[in-house]
Amino acid sequence: MKFKILLASVLVIAGCQTTKETTQVDTNQTKTVVEQPTNTPVVTVVPVVPVIKKPQPITVKLTPQQQQDVWDRIAMQITTKIPNNKRVQYYRNWYLKNPRNLEIIAQRAQPFLYYITEQVEKRGMPLELALLPIVESSFDPHAYSSMAAAGLWQIIPDTGRRFGLKQNSWYDGRRDVVKSTTAALNLLEYLNKKFDGNWQQALAAYNTGEGRVFSAIRKNKAAGKPTDYWALDLPNETSSYVPKLYAVADIIMHPKKYGFHIEPISNKPVIAVVKPGVQMDLTIAAEFAGISTRELKDLNPAYRRGVTAPNGLNHLLLPINKVKRFRRELAQNRNASMITHHHRVKSGESLGLIAKRYHSSIKAIQKVNKLKTTNIRIGQSLTIPASPISLVNRQHRAAVHVEAQHYVVQSGDNLWDIARKHKTSVVKLKQLNSLSKNAVLHQGQRLKVSTTATSKKTAANHKTIHYKVRNGDSLSVIAQRYDVSVAEIKKWNNLANNKYIKQGQQLKLVIDRRKVQA
């Protein structure tokens, strides 16, 4: 008990000593020190200094449609996995080693790529399809192949008609950029459905025909082989077709990776369709729009005679910034859209004969002269709508007499041997003789092998010039500029079946000095 009392006393005394004041005397000063309880934690108060953070830049990710460059707009939306096989590598390396090719293509594509891209997007189709005109025509709207395919999308006549493209002596819808784009995308959608959504097989069919691709698929199935595009036995051109497209797409998607620069194309509309509602001479239309006739023809290569068609096909593609001026000028000139000629009816003439003479049409003459029937009388004065280009062509052809050279087919002959013997091509022989694709020759058959044009005024009216190929030129562009044919240019320059020409190349041209100025 005494031990417990003693222990309690000690604890009380210890507790009393935990807090005390002590006075310390110093010679200079006296200060009081308050000792904190030993069992109380010491709290240090740190003043809070507000931290001002620098505002971070807000990164706004632009959509494909908001890009400044159409190439970027396309590249951002290509989702197709592009294989890195030998065929793709080969064509990718070719484009990278020949950058001038894509440079020229980019210049040609300037007016059209935005429009085509929009049409592909609207249909939800793979965006690499907007690049297909690069493979098809190098974006040359005047392009024409040895297989009679024409335009940016290289559509053959039968396919064009099948998909609604009108073709006549005035107008070729396959060269109409707007109409042919619609037809080509319709065809591609049709083929994609035929091949159960397989775009590679659909593209192959676009190039060579669906029948040939289906045949190749059946052949591989029978042999127990894969039926994907890469495994099919197809013509060389078709086997290269998809790899070319994929090679271009890969470069467009990864320009920095390959150290490649392609000329940017503004991501905004640059052309518009205008419907003047009257047949128009392209020279007058160009003047109204304030652009050159050549620029207008490059935008509207579908019109074959230098005028729009008389049967309602008279829409025009114009630079969007020239549309207002064109409409204003057309209205101020009271829709005077044609250069006209005056003709007094002579004995024996009919409306059809007069129309043919001026390269016009009966309907056009009737409309201008307000004729309800085709009846005309001697001495009647008619206004004939005709292009000056067509008139000059008529005068030139009237002065030229064409003589045909013939060959009689012998036993064992074939078109290839006959063509080689007469220094021409099989295609030319078929054209001269209106032969079908699978025509069979018969012994004793008489064939035209060449034509020779002679004229009393040839020496006086024709001259030979040497033309230096410019940036963006093609054989069809030069032929149209100097009013000659592609076949003639090839013949004069021994180009045989060469399709492409190079900038700086010298070409010999025989031109009519009366109608063409270099």
CA dist 92 and 74 (Å) reads 18
99-109 helix and 86-97 helix, angle to the nearest 10 degrees: 80
Q: Which long-range contacts (CB under 8 A, 24 or more apart) does 5-8 make?
A: none
For residue 204, the tally of other CB atoms under 10 A from its CB is 26
Residue 236 amino acid letter: N
- The answer to whether residues 279 and 315 touch, using CB atoms and an 8 Å cutoff, is no
- The answer to whether residues 402 and 453 touch, using CB atoms and an 8 Å cutoff, is yes
Give CA 310 to chain center in angstroms: 27
Rg (CA), the chain: 40
Is residue 136 part of the annotated active site? The answer reads yes
Distances (CA, A) of 232 to 117, 212, 491: 30, 10, 38
- The three-class DSSP label of residue 87 is helix
Would you state the structure tokens that stand for residue 504, as one six-digit string? 């700086």
Question: Of the listed 21, 35, 118, 136, which one is catalytic?
Answer: 136
Helix (H) or strand (E) holding 468: strand 462-468
Cβ contacts of residue 343 below 8 Å, gap of 6+?
A: 354, 358, 381, 382, 384
- The three-class DSSP label of residue 510 is strand
CA dist 133 and 74 (Å) reads 14
Would you state the structure tokens that stand for residue 379, as one six-digit string? 């001495």
Residues labelled catalytic:
136
